[in-house]
Amino acid sequence: MSLKVIKPNTPSQRGTVLINRSEIWKGKPHKPLVKGMHSTGGRNNQGRITSRRMGGGAKRNYRKIDFKRNKFDIVGNVERIEYDPYRSSFVALIKYDDGEYRYILAPNKLGVGDKITTSENAEIKTGNTLPLKKIPLGTNVHNIEIKLGRGGQLSRSAGTYAQLTSKNSFECQIKLSSGEVRIVNSNCLATVGIVSNPDNQNIKLGKAGRKRLLGFRPKVRGVVMNPVDHPLGGGEGKSSGGRHPVTPWGKPTKGKKTRKNKKTNRLIVKRRK
């Protein structure tokens, strides 16, 4: 997909850059694979805000995505490429030879009419899913499983991919888009190719209203609040806060490491920069 630069007929259109979705399916999604979702506005079952800066936004339908890709040795045909409001990449509607329909993450350059499959002996081409041990070194892959059979969890966002750097019969090393090098079980499945919509990172929404339609509410800095609302609030005139940046509950933020996950540390060969 290409980018769409809008003529500055109004101030909000000046500098606006959006994705040109003219080649994307314009009809409704495949109804059996759609689930209705209601917005929480960041509130829990007691009606209290537990996730700030959420609310409003256009109503959306959730497409059930097949992250497991577990229809082995059955060829699927790409019926259409669709927009999905719940993710940055596009999704592809697949019709398998046994008549079943499924949505998958659309790889870049996958087109309508292309054939895909999941198999240990599948061809190394965009959209096919194989165990990591069957994929050649240097191949770009996405939707990578961390635990066998759980479904893809790594490299699912628009334009992301991982590169297979080394492997043996038990484990593989993959380099993620962030630069992190990680160990994964060689039998875990991964899909060949790069996730679609790589230009998503170049979008400029242009106006606050478009951000509100996506379900985001305004973000207010702690230093402009009152002391009752935030630890950094209060003071005469413009104040800098006078302490290390913290959350409204006093926990350090902005670069301060706050959690350790020792269970997965052994699987990370090289940290992201």
What CATH number should be reported for the domain holding residue 156? 2.30.30.30
Nearest of 17, 39, 190, 184 to residue 105 by alpha carbon: 190
Token pair in block for residue 200? 């998503």
Cβ atoms of 108 and 191 closer than 8 Å = no
Residue 209 lies in a domain: no
Q: Is residue 228 part of a domain?
A: yes
Q: What is the pLDDT of residues 236-255, one digit of tens each?
A: 999 998 898 999 999 888 88
Give the span between the Cα atoms of 116 and 76, in whole angstroms: 5
- Name the band, by pLDDT with cuts 50, 70 and 90, for residue 210: very high
- Predicted pLDDT at 200: 95
Using DSSP's 3-state secondary structure scheme, residue 202 falls into helix
Residues 59 and 178 in one domain: yes
| pLDDT of the residue at 1 | 66
Q: What is the pLDDT of residue 151?
A: 95
Residues 77 and 148 in one domain: yes
pTM: 0.89
- Whether 38 is covered by a domain: the verdict is yes
Q: How many residues does the chain have?
A: 273
The overall average pLDDT reported for the chain is: 93
Torsion over CA: 70, 76, 82, 88 (sign): positive
pLDDT of residue 174: 96
Give 98's DSSP letter.
T
Q: In CATH, what number is assigned to the domain containing residue 237?
A: 4.10.950.10
Beta bridge partners of 167: 172
Q: Cα separation of 142 and 131, whole Å? A: 12
pLDDT for 41: 94
158 and 24 housed in the same domain: yes
**Mean of the pLDDT values across residues 187-213?**
96
**Tens digit of pLDDT for each residue in 153-199?**
999 999 999 999 999 889 999 999 999 999 999 999 999 999 999 99
Query: 106 and 241: one domain?
Result: no
Where helices occur in 42-172 by DSSP H, the ranges are none
Same domain? For 146 and 259 the reply is no
Contacts of 47 (CB under 8 A, 6+ apart): none
Question: Within this chain, do residues 68 and 156 fall inside the same structural domain, yes or no?
Answer: yes
pLDDT of res. 71: 94
Examine the domain organization and report whether 189 and 260 are in the same domain.
Answer: no
Residues 76 and 112 in one domain: yes
Range with the poorest average pLDDT among 67-71, 219-223, 265-269: 265-269
Q: How many domains does the chain have?
A: 2
Tell me: the pLDDT tens digits for 51-68?
999 999 999 999 999 999
CA-closest candidate to residue 98, choices 117, 125, 122, 81: 117
**217 lies in some domain:** no
**Domain of 228?**
222-264
CB count within 10 Å of CB 9 equals 8
Are the beta carbons of 76 and 95 closer than 8 angstroms? yes
Q: Is residue 85 part of a domain?
A: yes
Same domain, 229 and 196: no
Q: Which residues of 64-90 are buried (b: 16+ CB within 10 A; e: fewer)?
A: ebbbbbebeeebbebebbbbbeebbbb
Whether residue 23 lies inside any domain: the answer is yes
Same domain, 82 and 183: yes
Q: Are residues 136 and 34 in the same domain?
A: yes
| 272 domain residue, yes or no | no
104 and 149 in one domain?
Answer: yes
* Residue 215 covered by a domain: no
**Interval 59-113: pLDDT, tens:** 999 999 999 999 999 999 999 999 999 999 999 999 999 999 999 999 999 999 9
